[in-house]
Amino acid sequence: MRIADMLARSKPTVSFEFMAPRDESEVDVLEHTVATLAGHAPDWVSVTYRVRTGDKTLELVTRIKRHYHIEAMAHLTCANTADRTRQILNWMEREGVANVLALRGDSPASGEPFTPADPLLAHGSDLIGLVKRSGYRFGIGAACSAEKHPESPDLEHEFRYMRFKVEQGADFLITQLFFDNRFYFDLVARARAAGIKVPIVPGLMPIPSRRSLGVMMSMSGASVPSSLQAAIDEAADDDAVRALGVRHCIAQCAELLEAGVPGLHFYTFNRARAPIEILGALRGQQLLAS
């Protein structure tokens, strides 16, 4: 089923992002997380893509669909040539994958600029255009940033290319993580004023640890509100940071649900505990159906 159709319903969707395993050492944790979170009734899930582990992404997506009967979306990036990308899309189509998140992708070497494998695929919008123009019937998601992307000169630039992704055929958007809902509300208001009608799903990260927060802030461009940063600075250890992150995420989700968001998308980092605690709290407050 197309995710955009689920997002058009009145009930907000709950979805989880899983990271495809980079090697065997990550498989057990991932399997346990998928099995655990599948029991918490997500409407859909998604699986990240890296060039060296692309097969794992496709294998996990098809397995989640068949074994758990949950709609699973494959991420795909501009890490491959256009010909190889078409081969991957053909494979997905044969396997019954219904939705693709079309992205440029992160650079494999942190701190290095992204180098496309094919000049025809330099940006997320190029991949969206390829999927659309080649006649595939996938639902197409795309990434957007509520705050400034680290490579963008300003929000204007970011907004222009977000709009271009929709013009190229993206039928829903997922935001990069953010910790202050005002960024999301401003983005949605601006999009609606500009006539962009597709659902914009907030991407949420319960803070796993100080170290992961630092990495994610530099990769995503997300900022941390000063009150949250002060609480993190005072936290005794990573358990306390994690608990703070869960509390902050519950408050963020509650406000987003009250504002009528189409869904909540959780960056799980292949850990089930925080999403379970957050969903439990939101269901306890009757903000989400059980």
By the rule CB under 6 A, 157 interacts with ligand FAD: yes
CA atoms within 13 A on the CB side of 191: 27
Place of tokens 């197409």: 140
Binding string, residues 158-187; x marks residues near ligand FAD by CB under 6 A: x--x------------x-x-----------
Number of residues that bind ligand FAD (CB under 6 A): 23
Choice between 50 and 65, CB closer to ligand FAD: 50
- Smallest gap from Cβ 26 to ligand FAD, in A, equals 15
**Given 13, 15, 33, 48, the residue binding ligand FAD (CB under 6 A):** 48
- CA–CA separation, 147 and 153 (whole Å): 12
Place of tokens 């990271």: 19
Which two three-digit tokens encode residue 264?
Answer: 């909540």
For residues 47 and 77, the answer to whether their CB atoms sit within 8 Å is no
CB count within 10 Å of CB 235 equals: 17
Binding string, residues 93-112; x marks residues near ligand FAD by CB under 6 A: --------x-xxxx------
- Smallest gap from Cβ 211 to ligand FAD, in A, equals 19
Q: For ligand FAD, which stretch binds (CB under 6 A), given 1-9, 61-69, 121-129, 228-236?
A: 121-129
Which two three-digit tokens encode residue 181?
Answer: 């809902």
- For residue 70, how far is the Cα from the chain centroid? 16
CB count within 10 Å of CB 197 equals: 10
Binding residues for ligand FAD, rule: CB under 6 A, are 48-50, 75, 77, 101, 103-106, 123-125, 143, 149, 151-152, 157-158, 161, 174, 176, 203
